[in-house]
Structure 1
Amino acid sequence: MLADEMQPVLRTMREGGINIVAIHQHMTHEKPHYLFMHYWGKGMRRTWLKPSRMH
């Protein structure tokens, strides 16, 4: 995700019952600045973020 998308993505995933394990970057000095997220959830995949919309 882009850096300015991080908070809405985190909020939506937490509301959907998905735990964020790590947020990190792989590259330095890239434009735009990308962040990578590891997440963990339990249960049926189709129930995650149902229904979901970015805030």
Structure 2
Amino acid sequence: MSDLGGHRHSEIGRVLGLEKISSVSSACFRMKARVGAERRITRRARKIEEELQKSQERT
């Protein structure tokens, strides 16, 4: 299943250091709720997406 920027939860977990897929799913759900409301969170989400892109390019 993909969520943040079209990336798989397992990939997101690896980049963020989260082992459990359920933790990633829960974090993505909470982030979606907050991203629209807080600019700082939006910038952080974009930074995570950039890190995921870099990770994909390396593999």
Report TM bin, short chain: under 0.3
Greater helix proportion: 2
Greater C-alpha Rg: 1
Greater relative contact order (Cα 8 A, min sep 6): structure 1 or 2?
1
Per the normalisation by structure 1, the TM-score is 0.26
Greater strand proportion: 1
